[in-house]
Amino acid sequence: MELTIHQEILLYAFILAVVMGALVNKTNFCTMGAVSDWVNIGDTGRFRSWLFAVAIAMAGLILLESGGLVDLDSFEMKDLRPPYRMSNFEWLRYILGGVMFGVGMTLASGCGNKTLIRVGGGNLKSVVVLVIASFFAYLMAKTDFYGVVFHSWMNPLSIDLASLGIGGQDLGRVIAGATGREDAINIRAITGGILVVLLLIYVWKSADFRKSFDNVLGGLTVGLTVVAAWYLTGGAKGQEWLENTSFMDTPPRGVGAQSFTFTSPMADTFDYALHVTNMSFVTFGVMALAGVIVGSFLYAVIFRKFRIEWFQSGRDFLAHAIGGVLMGIGGVLALGCTIGQGVTGFSTLAIGSMMAFVSLVFGSALTMKVQYYKMVYENEASFMGALITALVDLKLLPSGMRKLEAV
């Protein structure tokens, strides 16, 4: 039986996600863990692995677009192209959503991608987080929840770059618009190339990183799978996908140029669960989510790392549940997660993606600091005391405001 172009795209998405799931499990690539290592013990190995993935994804997309193999800005894709470069610059949602997601992933013991990896490895706590995050992502993306709670006051604060003569928020078009030049694509390639070089210099100057096979492999895997998905959905096959499905009476959902992200797919998966007999609800994101779980499961079973885990206490459950809520809401609000904005969006050189990246790292680091002070000082430390001290540690408040002794 010959596959349709839609089925072919979904199959490739699943295969790429299986590879990602297996190798991310093997290498322990974890963005929350990367922040934790950095903040708590000063180890930047996994953080460099994350930045290595960013550099690989960015370099790959620059080469694909410069070579004419992918065109994310084409007229044919304009209504279904990814949201990262849009001209309506909703800066506040990137910041607030990023911070919310960073707090949430810390409480839930992992970001969206790591949650799927842990589900595949037998962690039932992550199953609960996945269900909760998926439900709230569904509310944000598929109902009026976002419009009622956020859009009415956030949208008026957004900046319409088009009215300023800037076609989008990627660095190429922002610089071109600000300088009156018209070669935004070339500027984007040059600017991106400089950023790639700077990131690679930072990543590879660490001898510890260079000696860690898992850190190198983890970053390389995530970066290359993001590039492969861009090529799959934004290149010639993606155009064929769009053209063939646009004439269907009931076209499938989620068609268009895209790469890996895991908050929106949670919403798509929840939506599909409500319409399980309707295969048009099976999207690229649904297959990506399923593929990561399957890949992680296969690795865990083959290498005997499959372990059933459950909550240690009611407080543990509550923390993970709140984390799931914040991840679902924050991930959609920020238009992506640690992979969706932190790697995929970043690869497009979108300023909003960079803001979301910084915000979610900040949210996660701040939460870890507060948790640490509360754990060490127990009842002696109020939440506000721990929060102010954490902000001092992060050099966001003067040292004279410290409420607790550094530990």
**Residue carrying structure tokens 């990506």:** 288
Q: Collapsing DSSP states into helix, strand and coil, what is residue 358?
A: helix
The model's pTM is 0.94
Euclidean distance between CA atoms 107 and 374, whole angstroms:
14
Residue 181 lies in a domain: yes
Residue 264 lies in a domain: yes
Euclidean distance between CA atoms 273 and 333, whole angstroms:
22
Euclidean distance between CA atoms 390 and 395, whole angstroms:
9
Residue 407 lies in a domain: no
DSSP 8-state symbol, 180: T
pLDDT single digits (tens) 45-85: 999 999 999 999 999 999 999 999 998 876 445 555 688 99
Residue 146 lies in a domain: yes
Instruction: Quote the number of domains for the chain.
Output: 1
Euclidean distance between CA atoms 173 and 71, whole angstroms:
15
pLDDT single digits (tens) 101-128: 999 999 999 998 999 999 999 999 999 9
| pLDDT, position 117 | 96
Chain center to CA of 211: 27
Residue 355: count of CB within 10 angstroms of its CB: 22
Q: What are the E-state strand segments in 62-220?
A: 88-89, 159-160
What are the counts of helices (DSSP H) followed by strands (DSSP E) for the chain?
19, 2
Residue 406 lies in a domain: no
Over the chain (407 residues), the average pLDDT of each successive run of 10 is 90 98 96 92 94 98 94 63 87 97 95 94 96 98 94 92 89 89 89 97 95 96 98 92 82 90 96 93 96 98 95 95 97 95 96 96 95 86 90 91 85
Q: Which residues contact residue 189 at a Cβ distance below 8 angstroms, ignoring those fewer than 6 apart?
A: 62, 65, 66, 172
Q: Which domain holds residue 288?
A: 5-401
